[in-house]
Amino acid sequence: MRRRRVSRVATISMHTSPLDQPGTGDAGGMNVYIVESAKRLAHLGVEVEIFTRQTARDLPPVAEIAPGVSVRHVTAGPYEELDKGDLPGQLCAFLSGVLRTEATYDPGRYDVIHSHYWLSGQVGWLAKERWGVPLVHTMHTMAKVKNLLLAADDKPEPNARVLGEEQVVDVADRLVANTAAEARELVELYGADPARVAVVNPGVNLTVFQPASTGAARHRLGLPDDSRVLLFVGRVQPLKGPDVLLRAAARMLVEDPGLRRRLVVACVGGPSGSGLSRPAMLADLSRELGIADIVRLVPPAPQHELADWYRAADVTVVPSHNESFGLVALESQACGTPVVAASVGGLRTAVRDGVSGLLVDGHDPGDWARVLHRLLREPRRLAVLAEGAVEHAAAFGWQATASRLAEVYAGAMAHLHRTPVAVNS
Protein backbone atom coordinates (compact mmCIF):
# COMPACT_ATOMS: atom_id res chain seq x y z
CA MET A 1 0.00 0.00 0.00
CA ARG A 2 1.36 3.45 -0.93
CA ARG A 3 2.33 5.52 2.12
CA ARG A 4 1.49 9.20 2.06
CA ARG A 5 3.32 11.98 3.93
CA VAL A 6 2.19 15.22 5.51
CA SER A 7 4.23 17.69 3.48
CA ARG A 8 2.34 20.99 3.21
CA VAL A 9 -0.47 22.56 5.23
CA ALA A 10 -2.73 25.44 4.18
CA THR A 11 -3.36 27.36 7.38
CA ILE A 12 -6.27 29.81 7.23
CA SER A 13 -6.42 32.82 9.53
CA MET A 14 -8.78 35.19 7.79
CA HIS A 15 -9.56 37.81 10.43
CA THR A 16 -6.14 38.39 11.96
CA SER A 17 -2.65 38.20 10.53
CA PRO A 18 0.16 36.29 12.22
CA LEU A 19 2.31 39.35 11.42
CA ASP A 20 0.21 41.58 13.71
CA GLN A 21 1.48 42.56 17.17
CA PRO A 22 -0.45 40.51 19.77
CA GLY A 23 -2.25 42.48 22.44
CA THR A 24 -4.46 44.85 20.48
CA GLY A 25 -7.22 44.77 17.88
CA ASP A 26 -7.99 41.14 17.07
CA ALA A 27 -4.41 39.98 17.59
CA GLY A 28 -3.80 37.83 20.62
CA GLY A 29 -2.94 34.32 21.69
CA MET A 30 -4.23 32.86 18.43
CA ASN A 31 -1.60 34.82 16.49
CA VAL A 32 1.14 33.50 18.74
CA TYR A 33 -0.25 29.96 18.42
CA ILE A 34 -0.26 30.05 14.61
CA VAL A 35 3.25 31.48 14.25
CA GLU A 36 4.95 29.35 16.90
CA SER A 37 3.32 26.06 15.89
CA ALA A 38 4.04 26.76 12.20
CA LYS A 39 7.75 27.31 12.89
CA ARG A 40 7.97 24.04 14.83
CA LEU A 41 6.03 22.16 12.14
CA ALA A 42 8.57 23.44 9.62
CA HIS A 43 11.31 21.93 11.81
CA LEU A 44 9.51 18.60 11.38
CA GLY A 45 9.59 19.00 7.60
CA VAL A 46 5.97 20.16 7.24
CA GLU A 47 5.76 23.33 5.15
CA VAL A 48 3.09 25.82 6.29
CA GLU A 49 1.44 28.47 4.13
CA ILE A 50 -0.75 30.88 6.11
CA PHE A 51 -3.59 32.64 4.28
CA THR A 52 -4.74 35.92 5.83
CA ARG A 53 -6.62 39.03 4.71
CA GLN A 54 -4.49 41.86 3.33
CA THR A 55 -4.84 44.94 5.54
CA ALA A 56 -2.39 47.33 3.87
CA ARG A 57 -1.73 48.16 0.23
CA ASP A 58 2.05 47.85 0.54
CA LEU A 59 2.10 44.31 1.93
CA PRO A 60 3.80 41.79 -0.39
CA PRO A 61 1.67 38.96 -1.83
CA VAL A 62 3.85 36.46 0.03
CA ALA A 63 6.05 37.04 3.09
CA GLU A 64 8.37 34.40 4.53
CA ILE A 65 8.48 34.60 8.30
CA ALA A 66 10.75 31.57 8.79
CA PRO A 67 12.21 28.81 6.62
CA GLY A 68 9.26 26.70 5.54
CA VAL A 69 6.65 29.20 6.82
CA SER A 70 5.08 31.85 4.60
CA VAL A 71 2.16 34.26 4.85
CA ARG A 72 -0.05 34.78 1.79
CA HIS A 73 -1.97 38.06 1.74
CA VAL A 74 -5.40 37.77 0.14
CA THR A 75 -7.27 40.85 -1.05
CA ALA A 76 -10.79 40.77 0.40
CA GLY A 77 -12.52 44.07 1.06
CA PRO A 78 -10.87 47.38 1.99
CA TYR A 79 -7.29 47.31 3.16
CA GLU A 80 -7.97 48.95 6.49
CA GLU A 81 -8.86 46.80 9.47
CA LEU A 82 -12.47 45.65 9.47
CA ASP A 83 -14.57 44.84 12.50
CA LYS A 84 -15.08 41.09 12.81
CA GLY A 85 -18.80 41.72 12.45
CA ASP A 86 -18.20 42.99 8.91
CA LEU A 87 -15.94 40.15 7.81
CA PRO A 88 -18.65 37.60 6.90
CA GLY A 89 -19.44 39.86 3.94
CA GLN A 90 -15.90 39.25 2.65
CA LEU A 91 -15.92 35.45 2.93
CA CYS A 92 -16.58 34.92 -0.79
CA ALA A 93 -13.81 37.31 -1.83
CA PHE A 94 -11.36 35.72 0.58
CA LEU A 95 -12.29 32.19 -0.48
CA SER A 96 -11.86 33.16 -4.13
CA GLY A 97 -8.32 34.38 -3.41
CA VAL A 98 -7.45 31.16 -1.57
CA LEU A 99 -8.79 28.97 -4.38
CA ARG A 100 -7.04 31.02 -7.08
CA THR A 101 -3.70 30.57 -5.30
CA GLU A 102 -4.05 26.78 -5.22
CA ALA A 103 -5.19 26.72 -8.85
CA THR A 104 -1.86 28.18 -10.03
CA TYR A 105 -0.06 25.01 -8.90
CA ASP A 106 -0.26 21.37 -9.90
CA PRO A 107 -3.09 19.46 -8.19
CA GLY A 108 -2.38 18.17 -4.71
CA ARG A 109 -0.33 21.12 -3.42
CA TYR A 110 -1.85 20.95 0.08
CA ASP A 111 -2.27 17.81 2.15
CA VAL A 112 -4.34 19.36 4.94
CA ILE A 113 -6.25 22.56 5.69
CA HIS A 114 -5.98 23.91 9.24
CA SER A 115 -8.44 26.74 9.93
CA HIS A 116 -8.43 28.97 13.00
CA TYR A 117 -11.61 30.64 14.32
CA TRP A 118 -15.03 30.10 12.82
CA LEU A 119 -14.70 32.58 9.92
CA SER A 120 -11.65 30.71 8.66
CA GLY A 121 -13.51 27.46 9.20
CA GLN A 122 -16.17 28.58 6.73
CA VAL A 123 -13.46 29.15 4.12
CA GLY A 124 -11.79 25.86 4.99
CA TRP A 125 -15.09 24.03 4.58
CA LEU A 126 -15.42 25.04 0.93
CA ALA A 127 -11.72 24.67 0.12
CA LYS A 128 -11.79 21.15 1.57
CA GLU A 129 -14.59 20.18 -0.82
CA ARG A 130 -12.76 21.65 -3.81
CA TRP A 131 -9.32 20.21 -3.03
CA GLY A 132 -10.38 16.84 -1.63
CA VAL A 133 -8.24 17.18 1.51
CA PRO A 134 -9.17 16.98 5.19
CA LEU A 135 -10.12 20.03 7.26
CA VAL A 136 -8.65 20.39 10.73
CA HIS A 137 -10.21 23.22 12.74
CA THR A 138 -9.29 25.01 15.97
CA MET A 139 -12.01 27.17 17.53
CA HIS A 140 -9.83 29.22 19.95
CA THR A 141 -13.03 30.73 21.34
CA MET A 142 -16.64 29.55 21.09
CA ALA A 143 -19.74 31.72 20.99
CA LYS A 144 -21.82 29.41 23.16
CA VAL A 145 -19.16 29.36 25.87
CA LYS A 146 -18.62 33.12 25.75
CA ASN A 147 -22.36 33.78 26.00
CA LEU A 148 -22.56 31.59 29.10
CA LEU A 149 -19.76 33.57 30.80
CA LEU A 150 -20.31 37.16 29.69
CA ALA A 151 -18.89 40.06 31.64
CA ALA A 152 -21.57 42.41 32.98
CA ASP A 153 -20.98 45.10 30.33
CA ASP A 154 -20.13 42.83 27.39
CA LYS A 155 -22.27 42.00 24.36
CA PRO A 156 -23.35 38.44 23.52
CA GLU A 157 -22.06 36.80 20.37
CA PRO A 158 -24.60 36.88 17.50
CA ASN A 159 -26.63 33.88 16.35
CA ALA A 160 -24.91 34.02 12.96
CA ARG A 161 -21.63 33.09 14.64
CA VAL A 162 -23.27 30.29 16.61
CA LEU A 163 -24.70 28.83 13.40
CA GLY A 164 -21.38 29.24 11.59
CA GLU A 165 -19.55 27.39 14.36
CA GLU A 166 -22.09 24.57 14.34
CA GLN A 167 -21.58 24.16 10.59
CA VAL A 168 -17.80 24.00 10.93
CA VAL A 169 -18.06 21.43 13.73
CA ASP A 170 -20.26 19.28 11.50
CA VAL A 171 -17.92 19.30 8.48
CA ALA A 172 -14.43 19.31 10.03
CA ASP A 173 -12.53 16.03 9.83
CA ARG A 174 -10.74 16.85 13.07
CA LEU A 175 -11.39 19.45 15.77
CA VAL A 176 -8.42 20.55 17.84
CA ALA A 177 -9.24 21.49 21.44
CA ASN A 178 -6.71 23.28 23.65
CA THR A 179 -7.73 21.32 26.75
CA ALA A 180 -9.84 18.36 27.79
CA ALA A 181 -12.39 20.85 29.15
CA GLU A 182 -12.70 22.48 25.73
CA ALA A 183 -13.08 19.06 24.15
CA ARG A 184 -16.03 18.39 26.46
CA GLU A 185 -17.58 21.74 25.51
CA LEU A 186 -17.33 20.87 21.82
CA VAL A 187 -19.13 17.59 22.46
CA GLU A 188 -21.73 18.84 24.95
CA LEU A 189 -22.55 22.26 23.46
CA TYR A 190 -21.97 21.60 19.75
CA GLY A 191 -22.67 17.89 19.42
CA ALA A 192 -19.17 17.15 18.08
CA ASP A 193 -18.26 13.50 17.47
CA PRO A 194 -15.79 12.66 20.27
CA ALA A 195 -13.80 10.51 17.82
CA ARG A 196 -13.03 13.63 15.76
CA VAL A 197 -11.90 15.78 18.69
CA ALA A 198 -8.19 15.86 19.58
CA VAL A 199 -6.68 17.63 22.58
CA VAL A 200 -3.50 19.57 21.77
CA ASN A 201 -2.17 21.87 24.47
CA PRO A 202 -0.69 25.17 23.23
CA GLY A 203 2.88 25.90 24.21
CA VAL A 204 5.25 28.64 25.25
CA ASN A 205 8.54 29.83 23.78
CA LEU A 206 10.88 28.63 26.52
CA THR A 207 13.84 30.40 24.92
CA VAL A 208 12.26 33.87 25.10
CA PHE A 209 10.25 33.35 28.27
CA GLN A 210 12.64 32.18 30.98
CA PRO A 211 13.68 33.39 34.43
CA ALA A 212 16.12 36.28 34.70
CA SER A 213 16.93 39.09 37.12
CA THR A 214 13.86 40.88 38.50
CA GLY A 215 15.96 43.91 39.43
CA ALA A 216 17.45 44.23 35.96
CA ALA A 217 14.03 43.96 34.36
CA ARG A 218 12.63 46.65 36.67
CA HIS A 219 15.58 48.91 35.88
CA ARG A 220 14.99 48.56 32.13
CA LEU A 221 11.28 49.31 32.59
CA GLY A 222 11.75 52.23 34.95
CA LEU A 223 10.20 50.54 37.98
CA PRO A 224 11.53 51.08 41.53
CA ASP A 225 13.45 48.12 42.96
CA ASP A 226 11.23 47.95 46.05
CA SER A 227 7.89 48.20 44.22
CA ARG A 228 5.19 45.55 44.44
CA VAL A 229 4.04 44.94 40.88
CA LEU A 230 0.74 43.43 39.80
CA LEU A 231 0.67 42.79 36.05
CA PHE A 232 -2.12 42.41 33.50
CA VAL A 233 -1.21 41.43 29.94
CA GLY A 234 -3.72 41.14 27.12
CA ARG A 235 -6.30 42.82 24.99
CA VAL A 236 -8.29 45.44 26.87
CA GLN A 237 -11.91 44.33 26.68
CA PRO A 238 -14.55 43.21 29.19
CA LEU A 239 -13.94 39.51 28.42
CA LYS A 240 -10.40 39.76 29.80
CA GLY A 241 -11.52 41.42 33.04
CA PRO A 242 -8.80 44.07 33.55
CA ASP A 243 -11.35 46.11 35.51
CA VAL A 244 -11.38 43.34 38.14
CA LEU A 245 -7.67 43.94 38.81
CA LEU A 246 -8.09 47.73 39.07
CA ARG A 247 -11.04 47.43 41.44
CA ALA A 248 -9.15 44.86 43.53
CA ALA A 249 -6.14 47.19 43.74
CA ALA A 250 -8.37 50.02 44.94
CA ARG A 251 -9.77 47.72 47.67
CA MET A 252 -6.23 46.77 48.72
CA LEU A 253 -5.31 50.44 49.19
CA VAL A 254 -8.39 51.07 51.33
CA GLU A 255 -7.36 48.18 53.57
CA ASP A 256 -3.66 49.06 53.56
CA PRO A 257 -3.09 52.77 52.68
CA GLY A 258 0.66 52.42 53.22
CA LEU A 259 0.84 50.06 50.24
CA ARG A 260 0.28 53.03 47.90
CA ARG A 261 3.92 54.03 48.23
CA ARG A 262 5.06 50.79 46.61
CA LEU A 263 2.18 49.32 44.59
CA VAL A 264 2.32 49.42 40.78
CA VAL A 265 -0.48 48.04 38.63
CA ALA A 266 0.83 47.59 35.09
CA CYS A 267 -1.53 46.85 32.20
CA VAL A 268 0.20 45.87 28.95
CA GLY A 269 -2.12 45.75 25.93
CA GLY A 270 -4.52 47.70 23.75
CA PRO A 271 -8.28 47.93 23.19
CA SER A 272 -10.00 45.09 21.37
CA GLY A 273 -13.47 43.74 20.65
CA SER A 274 -16.18 45.61 22.51
CA GLY A 275 -13.37 47.52 24.25
CA LEU A 276 -12.79 49.47 21.03
CA SER A 277 -15.89 51.50 21.81
CA ARG A 278 -14.22 52.69 25.04
CA PRO A 279 -10.49 52.94 24.27
CA ALA A 280 -9.83 54.97 27.43
CA MET A 281 -11.70 52.50 29.65
CA LEU A 282 -8.79 51.70 31.98
CA ALA A 283 -7.58 55.29 32.25
CA ASP A 284 -11.11 56.46 33.07
CA LEU A 285 -11.65 53.69 35.61
CA SER A 286 -8.29 54.39 37.27
CA ARG A 287 -9.26 58.03 37.81
CA GLU A 288 -12.72 57.06 39.01
CA LEU A 289 -11.21 54.68 41.58
CA GLY A 290 -8.58 57.22 42.67
CA ILE A 291 -5.64 54.99 41.72
CA ALA A 292 -4.38 56.68 38.54
CA ASP A 293 -1.10 57.42 40.32
CA ILE A 294 -0.24 53.72 40.70
CA VAL A 295 -1.50 52.47 37.32
CA ARG A 296 0.80 52.21 34.31
CA LEU A 297 -0.89 51.70 30.95
CA VAL A 298 1.56 50.25 28.45
CA PRO A 299 0.95 49.58 24.73
CA PRO A 300 1.36 46.03 23.38
CA ALA A 301 4.98 44.94 23.60
CA PRO A 302 7.17 42.59 21.53
CA GLN A 303 8.03 39.29 23.17
CA HIS A 304 11.47 40.24 24.53
CA GLU A 305 10.01 43.31 26.26
CA LEU A 306 6.97 41.37 27.43
CA ALA A 307 9.29 38.87 29.09
CA ASP A 308 10.81 41.76 31.08
CA TRP A 309 7.35 42.78 32.28
CA TYR A 310 6.71 39.25 33.52
CA ARG A 311 10.08 39.13 35.29
CA ALA A 312 9.49 42.55 36.86
CA ALA A 313 6.12 41.54 38.30
CA ASP A 314 5.48 39.94 41.67
CA VAL A 315 2.27 38.40 40.32
CA THR A 316 0.60 38.25 36.92
CA VAL A 317 -3.17 38.59 37.20
CA VAL A 318 -5.47 36.90 34.66
CA PRO A 319 -9.08 37.70 35.65
CA SER A 320 -10.66 36.63 32.34
CA HIS A 321 -14.32 35.65 32.23
CA ASN A 322 -13.38 32.91 29.80
CA GLU A 323 -10.16 31.59 28.22
CA SER A 324 -9.77 28.66 25.85
CA PHE A 325 -6.27 28.30 27.30
CA GLY A 326 -4.45 31.42 28.50
CA LEU A 327 -1.00 31.81 26.93
CA VAL A 328 -0.29 34.84 29.12
CA ALA A 329 -0.45 32.64 32.19
CA LEU A 330 2.00 30.18 30.65
CA GLU A 331 4.43 32.90 29.53
CA SER A 332 4.46 34.46 32.98
CA GLN A 333 5.11 31.16 34.72
CA ALA A 334 7.93 30.34 32.29
CA CYS A 335 9.58 33.59 33.45
CA GLY A 336 9.26 32.51 37.07
CA THR A 337 6.33 34.75 38.00
CA PRO A 338 3.32 33.11 39.67
CA VAL A 339 -0.17 33.72 38.31
CA VAL A 340 -3.44 34.50 40.03
CA ALA A 341 -6.13 33.58 37.52
CA ALA A 342 -9.85 33.10 37.28
CA SER A 343 -10.88 29.48 37.63
CA VAL A 344 -12.40 29.26 34.16
CA GLY A 345 -11.82 27.35 30.93
CA GLY A 346 -8.25 26.55 29.94
CA LEU A 347 -6.79 28.55 32.84
CA ARG A 348 -7.47 25.50 35.00
CA THR A 349 -4.90 23.69 32.85
CA ALA A 350 -2.50 26.60 32.23
CA VAL A 351 -2.20 27.27 35.99
CA ARG A 352 -1.63 24.50 38.51
CA ASP A 353 -3.58 25.73 41.50
CA GLY A 354 -1.47 25.98 44.64
CA VAL A 355 1.71 24.95 42.79
CA SER A 356 2.39 27.50 40.01
CA GLY A 357 -0.20 30.05 41.06
CA LEU A 358 -3.69 30.41 42.47
CA LEU A 359 -7.13 30.09 40.92
CA VAL A 360 -9.95 32.35 42.10
CA ASP A 361 -13.65 31.51 41.82
CA GLY A 362 -15.78 34.34 40.47
CA HIS A 363 -14.89 37.96 39.72
CA ASP A 364 -15.74 39.78 42.95
CA PRO A 365 -13.01 42.45 43.36
CA GLY A 366 -13.12 41.94 47.12
CA ASP A 367 -12.17 38.27 46.75
CA TRP A 368 -9.35 39.14 44.35
CA ALA A 369 -8.09 41.88 46.68
CA ARG A 370 -7.87 39.43 49.60
CA VAL A 371 -5.99 36.81 47.57
CA LEU A 372 -3.54 39.30 46.05
CA HIS A 373 -2.91 41.24 49.25
CA ARG A 374 -2.23 38.07 51.22
CA LEU A 375 0.16 36.82 48.54
CA LEU A 376 2.14 40.07 48.50
CA ARG A 377 2.58 39.77 52.27
CA GLU A 378 3.91 36.19 52.03
CA PRO A 379 7.29 36.33 50.25
CA ARG A 380 8.11 32.71 51.10
CA ARG A 381 4.92 31.48 49.50
CA LEU A 382 5.57 33.65 46.45
CA ALA A 383 9.04 32.10 46.14
CA VAL A 384 7.63 28.56 46.34
CA LEU A 385 5.01 29.36 43.71
CA ALA A 386 7.70 30.91 41.50
CA GLU A 387 9.65 27.64 41.54
CA GLY A 388 6.50 25.69 40.77
CA ALA A 389 5.65 28.10 37.96
CA VAL A 390 8.89 27.45 36.08
CA GLU A 391 8.55 23.69 36.49
CA HIS A 392 4.91 23.71 35.35
CA ALA A 393 5.56 25.84 32.26
CA ALA A 394 8.50 23.67 31.20
CA ALA A 395 6.06 20.92 30.20
CA PHE A 396 4.45 23.14 27.54
CA GLY A 397 7.04 23.69 24.80
CA TRP A 398 5.83 24.51 21.28
CA GLN A 399 7.73 21.54 19.84
CA ALA A 400 5.37 19.19 21.69
CA THR A 401 2.40 21.13 20.31
CA ALA A 402 3.70 20.85 16.74
CA SER A 403 4.44 17.14 17.06
CA ARG A 404 0.92 16.49 18.29
CA LEU A 405 -0.57 18.62 15.49
CA ALA A 406 1.41 16.64 12.91
CA GLU A 407 -0.11 13.45 14.35
CA VAL A 408 -3.59 14.97 14.08
CA TYR A 409 -2.95 15.94 10.44
CA ALA A 410 -1.73 12.43 9.65
CA GLY A 411 -4.78 10.90 11.31
CA ALA A 412 -7.14 13.15 9.35
CA MET A 413 -5.40 12.27 6.08
CA ALA A 414 -5.38 8.55 6.85
CA HIS A 415 -9.10 8.60 7.63
CA LEU A 416 -9.97 10.50 4.45
CA HIS A 417 -7.76 8.50 2.08
CA ARG A 418 -7.83 5.19 3.97
CA THR A 419 -4.05 4.89 3.60
CA PRO A 420 -1.29 5.07 6.21
CA VAL A 421 0.23 8.53 6.61
CA ALA A 422 3.76 9.24 7.82
CA VAL A 423 4.62 12.10 10.14
CA ASN A 424 7.86 13.79 9.06
CA SER A 425 10.65 13.75 11.61
Question: Which residues are annotated binding-site positions for 1D-myo-inositol 3-phosphate?
Answer: 15, 26-31, 84, 117, 141, 161
Pair 26, 238: CB distance under 8 Å: no
Report the alpha-carbon distance of residue 176 to residue 159 in Å, rounded: 23
Nearest to 328 by CA among 237, 232, 394: 232
Backbone angle region of 99, left / alpha / beta, with phi > 0 → left and psi within -120 to 50 → alpha: alpha
Residues 6+ apart with CB under 8 A from 288: none
Backbone angle region of 341, left / alpha / beta, with phi > 0 → left and psi within -120 to 50 → alpha: beta
Q: Which SS3 state, helix, strand or coil, does residue 240 take?
A: helix
Q: Which residues, listed in sequence order, are joined to residue 188 by a DSSP beta bridge? A: none
Report the alpha-carbon distance of residue 418 to residue 425 in Å, rounded: 22
Known binding residues for Mg(2+) are 310-311, 313, 337
Report the alpha-carbon distance of residue 115 to residue 135 in Å, rounded: 7
Measure Cα distances from 119 to 49, 179, 269, 369 in Å. Answer: 18, 21, 24, 38
Amino acid at 323: E
361 burial class (0-12, 13-18, 19+ CB within 10 angstroms)? exposed
Distance of CA 39 to the CA centre of its chain: 16
Known binding residues are 15, 21-22, 26-31, 84, 117, 141, 161, 235, 240, 310-311, 313, 323, 331, 337
Q: Which SS3 state, helix, strand or coil, does residue 125 take?
A: helix
Measure Cα distances from 201 to 70, 102, 155, 281, 330 in Å. Answer: 23, 30, 28, 32, 11
Phi, psi of 150 (to 5 degrees): -65, 140
Known binding residues for UDP-N-acetyl-alpha-D-glucosamine are 21-22, 29, 235, 240, 323, 331
Report the alpha-carbon distance of residue 313 to residue 330 in Å, rounded: 14
Residues 6+ apart with CB under 8 A from 254: none
Amino acid at 281: M
